[in-house]
Structures are given as C-alpha cells and as structure tokens.
C-alpha cells in the first residue's frame, strides 16, 4: 500500500465499504481508498484474507475493518452494515464489487449455476446498494455508491451469457437508483472494466489460449489493476459531485468493434 500515490484526492473522515475484498480488484480498491484517507470496511467470505489485508492497511497507517459477508444472504448484509456503523461510523462510500462468473455456453448452463451467478451479481448487488442507500437517506448527508459492472454489460462475451445478463442488470440498476436517490444527494455510478490481469485470471492469460485472446484486443494487452484508480477516486470523492447515473467503460478499447 505504501507504493500507492494518491494526489488531489482526500477522503479523510469518510467511511467506505468494499465488498469482494478478498482478491483481485476488491483488494486494490480497498488499498486505494485507504491511501486516500478513508476508513475502509473490507467484506468477503474468506476471513483470513480480509485480516491479512486489514493488517497491511493498518501497518501503512490506515484504518480497516474486516467483515465476513456473503452478499447472497440479505440478513447478513444488514448485520454487516450494523457492525460497520458501530465500529467505523456511518457509511459514505459503497464499492459494490462482489461478483462471480461461470464459464458456460447457454445451452449447457444449469439452473444451479444460473442462480449462483444471478444471486451474487444481481440480487446481492441490489440488496447491498439498497441497504447502503436506505442508511444514507436516513442520515441525510448523501453518499456515493459505485457498482462494479463489466464491458459485458454492453458487449457480448462468448461463453458468458448469464454473466453478461447480470452485468446488464447492474447497469440499469445503477441508472434507476441514481434517478430515485438524486434528491437525497446519493450518487450512483458504475465502472465497466474490460479485461484486467488479476490473481484470478493470470493463469488463463499466460496460457496459449489467453495469449491468443489478448492478441485480438486493439492494443494487444491487458489492463492493470491500478488502471481503475482514477475512475474510482473520481466517483468516490468531491470531484465527482455532479456525476450520477453514469456508466464508465474502462477497457483500453477492448469492446470496440473492429472496422
């Protein structure tokens, strides 16, 4: 975390929650928000990973609270929110990042796998957002909700029909909640990342198949986790005051159709 440089962004005094903070982008988001001065609750199912990340943030001078959470459990969401408010204070920023996918052609998708994807990516994200929104409305000081979608929200990704469906739902949910909560000064936006190298996909992208996929990208490269830092901080802080209901595609042109 000490190597992250945050210039022009001050989130001191803010309380942020990052879901899906046990690996990949969620870990990066937590580190960046903490480096910008926010007290960060980090939520996920693997407690040992959360505790390791919290220790790293605290060692760097930040404040972090590990919270065990399965976003598919609506009752657990409310319990986690209560814990965060008790330990850190009222929530200012939610990074709704928890998500998963199942690689499968549509004709092979089982009802169980379908439910797993939709319950995490759509149902879980919705009830995380509404829990945060309800508390922000009651508090009366506004807030920021940043949903992590995907280029799959607007681009067909072969073998990921249900995943793309879930992310398209995230996009419309983002716009709908932004409209509903505008009068409460709650900004709701979504980041739609392209293919970014993370712990979860590095093995694939190092394989022959993964290298072939990268070769078909316009710039023939993957994004890095820190490529989302600027968009995250813009939407979380004061510089994004009048941005709401927007979908930010950050994909290095990967979703652009070839000429």
Residues assigned a catalytic role = 163
Q: Which residues, 6+ apart, have CB-to-CB distance to 197 below 8 Å?
A: 205, 222, 223, 224, 225
Cα separation, 25 vs 155, in Å, equals 20
Joined tokens for residue 19: 């879901």
The DSSP string of 126-165 is HHHHHHHHHHHHHHTS-EEEEEE--GGGTS--TTBHHHHH
Cα separation, 153 vs 166, in Å, equals 8
The DSSP string of 50-88 is HHHHHHHHHHTT-EEEEEE--TT-HHHHHHHHHHHHHHT
| Cα angle for residues 44, 3, 19 (degrees, 5° grid) | 15
């Amino acid at each position: 975390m000490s190597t992250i440089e945050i210039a022009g962004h001050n989130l001191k005094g803010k309380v942020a929650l990052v879901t899906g903070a046990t690996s990949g982008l969620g870990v990066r988001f937590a580190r960046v928000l903490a480096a910008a001065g926010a007290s960060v609750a980090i939520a996920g199912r693997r407690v040992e990973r959360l505790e390791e990340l919290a220790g790293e943030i605290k060692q760097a001078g930040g404040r972090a609270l590990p919270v065990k959470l399965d976003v598919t459990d609506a009752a657990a969401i409310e319990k986690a929110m209560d814990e965060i408010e008790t330990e850190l204070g009222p929530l200012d920023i939610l990074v709704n990042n928890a998500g998963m996918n199942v690689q499968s052609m549509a004709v092979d998708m089982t009802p169980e796998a379908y439910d797993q994807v939709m319950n995490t990516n759509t149902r879980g994200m919705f009830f995380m957002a509404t829990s945060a929104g309800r508390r922000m409305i009651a508090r009366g000081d506004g807030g920021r909700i940043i949903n992590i979608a995907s280029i799959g929200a607007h681009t067909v990704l072969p073998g990921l029909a249900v995943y793309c469906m879930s992310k398209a739902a995230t996009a419309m949910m983002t716009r709908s909640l932004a409209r509903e909560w505008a009068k409460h000064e709650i900004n709701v936006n979504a980041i739609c990342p392209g293919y970014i190298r993370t712990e979860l996909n590095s093995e694939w992208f190092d394989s022959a198949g993964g290298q072939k996929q990268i070769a078909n990208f316009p710039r023939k490269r993957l994004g890095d986790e820190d490529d989302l830092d600027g968009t995250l901080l813009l939407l979380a802080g004061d510089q994004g005051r009048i941005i709401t209901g927007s979908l930010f595609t950050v994909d290095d042109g990967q979703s652009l159709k070839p000429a």
